[in-house]
Structure 1
């Protein structure tokens, strides 16, 4: 019996560094990664003022007021929240800096324009993905692929998943050259042009293979845009709202998904008098309108200052930043900090291909394992089975076509509304905890949906109600968990010097398995029946829970230095730690014992200046 007041402590296997890195290059990586967490740390205010003045004069940033802004901005960049300790600021400037923390969403109109652009671009993405949900009810019969033969089921899956095939093997990998040649705004404009043209093209096709080609071209719009828009948001937003703005990509993509379902329902009753299939053609072409709107006003927004700086156009970067901030002091501060980060990144000439760095460096390899796990499971949890085929699923359950489209719209509304709280929960509960909580619930929802097809058709209302309830419950638990976590996690897990390559790999992974999901579902449904097909993805949700438990460290609220430490823990240590967490959960929450959570790693402050390395 536990004595009163005594606290149990779970068995601990804290990781202890064993030996130093074997090579100077590995020590250099660790030091440079740490430096990137704050490249201005350690400088005095006088040194920073001199650095800011030198930078402004060398790049001819403007007149005396601009040079003064960079002098003070360099000091503020070291620690923005300590503006009160910076000598030389006027009371009005201190008030502007204070409002950054007390009124985070008080921004210049140009910044609101960027927010609107990013939100609408995300909506374009979502609508591109879901208008096919209702249109396929009609066009597959018109194209002669609507029967139950194996050929037809595979062709339906291939046509529906064509954009994601393009994204995985071509589209995502065009992100780097497109951004280098055309900038962030140019890339968004070009990808939305691809989306608009491909969507209009889809409305005029007359064979399944021409639909496949049109949808494959759509992938050139989806792939680069999915990586560029979050990057553009992160590079233009002030630090106080950067995380929330980047997170809104997922929320407004969900909004676009919902609008796609709504368009399907709106055009369902369009008469096909002289044009065969006019209703589904309107559905497919309707996705072009938000893309056209983006194309019309994208260049009214300022270009990313970071892109200008990568092109050595420093004054244009400063002008752009000034339109995105209330005061020159803020613009100079953020631009100078951006400059120091770019200088630190450019110093990372370690003599190895960046893609090989992802595999050969243990710290990067563990980050890649965790990132690839959540990206893979974002698709194999089965979410896009519902997103792309919900109308077909509800028709299989004996819904009428309008009712099937209405039920799909309801799922889209839930997916959007439940994505909104993720802006707060992802930093409150943590990435790993959200997934460990929601994966079992997603699995139960998938099993419940599939098994509801066993309810006899004589109990028509109960059967329909349970099937809809199962898909809606899945949307409720997916939206705040596996929906927003993968992109956020992948963007922060990698060190800065390989982050763009890690994100390209992450987006290619999610679109590849998106393609696999889309192309196989019709055949899976025919072979396994609805019960087995949903149980298949319900089982994968359980697999995902174990993968997260064993291989995904928590990254919430950690600096780059701390993340280096987190991903320096060997995989086997973290896997054992994850298994011990099961015992902790049982003792703490089921047996109600006062048990302290185990800490796997601690800050290595006592080992300052001692570089250590670890093998997997």
Structure 2
């Protein structure tokens, strides 16, 4: 039975299940966005230095790195559903803890706890969605995770704006526990992953779950179970393959570099510190918050556009265009801020527009494409290892960027800081030309064959 046929005969609850699981992305986005608007009020209330604020912001990423390291084992031992439930519980506890923090030190601890939940959810939710979705619509369903992430950032920015009028930073940090509770309630009705059930030898339950997901068509379900059985006979050999195969080490290395590059574009500098950036442009608190909400809106709209064109334009051309747009946008911002805040209202507004251009450039290119490439370039037997390595790297690089930006802003100044990120984006154009393959329209098997045959990385695709 073909993937298209399987997609045609799907149960009515499939998209609802996928949407519910992707709410993990919403929680991830909420946590990224919420700290942005709360910072200036935390600094005043808790007397926080630039270094301490960097630790408060980056503690979440440190927790996420730890959480993502352990969740491969947890998702296999407990199951994808139970892992998501654990992540949801920790998310709610961490959110409430952050809202009650009485010092910078306790806020750092609770942000780390919150990061553990984000690390589990960011690894497990896409995995769960991939395992319940028919092949023909898997890409679209997994893309809902990225869309929910950007939507979470926008909702957090809007929530921060509402609470900013009275400086209620504790409400900003605590309100995200509410979607966490709703997520937990929704998880109770999710089925277990049929792939995980088969891994555990629970064939009857796996068959029942797939019958519900595939509209009750036995031939479709039997064919899918046969496919899963064949895949399970090829066990993961990540560490052993990494030690024995220089070609696999090349693909892991490329995945790691791509994730470092994604963070060094400067995207999370904007997501974590948008109000502070708008403050350096000379805007008052209310304008800072509304412009921050505009950042979230552009991020969502550009992600929607990326989902529509990602498989038509190709990976390399889209990345090259995105890095070019981001480099140009940040270079212009650096120029307008070379003497401090822009001198005129028109120049201020132009600087904001260029920041939004930068956001759109990222959301259209490096945002979705780097995650796509990291999953496409890894061979089957080492895919779990390769993706885990790139995911942990993402969080580590994210933590470094989140910690260093306020120090760079105070030490180098806003103009030089943005110029540095502009130069990095320009360098990433050369990196893409030299190493990044074009994988559009290529099967994973063909990419793997080219990789393991020793072809240059940029030629393992088309």
Normalising TM by the smaller chain, what interval?
Answer: over 0.9
Structure 1 counterpart of 2:150, from 223, 243, 254: 254
Counterparts of 2:56 and 2:118 in 1: how far apart (Å)?
16
Question: What's the TM-score, normalizing by structure 2?
Answer: 0.95
Q: CA deviation at 1:323?
A: 1.1
2:385 is the counterpart of 1:495: no
Structure 2 counterpart of 1:137, from 32, 40, 43: 40
Map 1:229-268; keep pairs closer than 5 Å.
229-268=125-164
Specify the alignment match of 1:205 in structure 2. Answer: 101
Map 1:116-515; keep pairs closer than 5 Å.
116-145=19-48, 152-168=49-65, 170-270=66-166, 279-326=168-215, 327-343=217-233, 345-346=234-235, 354-358=238-242, 360-454=244-338, 459-515=343-399
Give 1 or 2 for the bigger CA radius of gyration: 1
Counterparts of 1:202 and 1:505 in 2: how far apart (Å)?
29
- Aligned residues of 2:262 and 2:366 also touching (Cα < 8 A): yes
Specify the alignment match of 2:17 in structure 1. Answer: 114
Counterparts of 1:463 and 1:569 in 2: how far apart (Å)?
54
How many residues of Structure 1 are paired with residues of Structure 2 in the alignment? 461
Counterparts of 2:181 and 2:154 in 1: how far apart (Å)?
19
Q: CA deviation at 1:110?
A: 2.2
Question: What's the TM-score, normalizing by structure 1?
Answer: 0.72
Counterparts of 2:11 and 2:165 in 1: how far apart (Å)?
44
Map 1:554-565; keep pairs closer than 5 Å.
554-565=438-449
- Aligned residues of 2:22 and 2:126 also touching (Cα < 8 A): no
Q: CA deviation at 1:166?
A: 1.9
Give the SS at the match of 1:357: helix
Q: CA deviation at 1:167?
A: 2.1
Counterparts of 2:248 and 2:400 in 1: how far apart (Å)?
27
Deviations 1:379-410 (A, max 9, x none): 00000000000001101211111110100000
Q: CA deviation at 1:569?
A: 6.1
User: Structure 1 560/476 Cα, relative in aligned 2: closer, same or farther at 3 Å?
Assistant: closer
- Aligned residues of 1:457 and 1:463 also touching (Cα < 8 A): no
Give the SS at the match of 2:145: helix
Counterparts of 2:388 and 2:308 in 1: how far apart (Å)?
26
Q: Which runs of 5+ in 1 are unaligned?
A: 1-75, 82-96, 146-151, 271-276, 576-599, 604-616
Q: CA deviation at 1:601?
A: 7.5
Q: Which runs of 5+ in 2 are unaligned?
A: none
Q: CA deviation at 1:513?
A: 0.4
Counterparts of 1:258 and 1:141 in 2: how far apart (Å)?
24
Counterparts of 2:353 and 2:115 in 1: how far apart (Å)?
32
- Aligned residues of 1:373 and 1:548 also touching (Cα < 8 A): no
- Aligned residues of 1:163 and 1:215 also touching (Cα < 8 A): yes
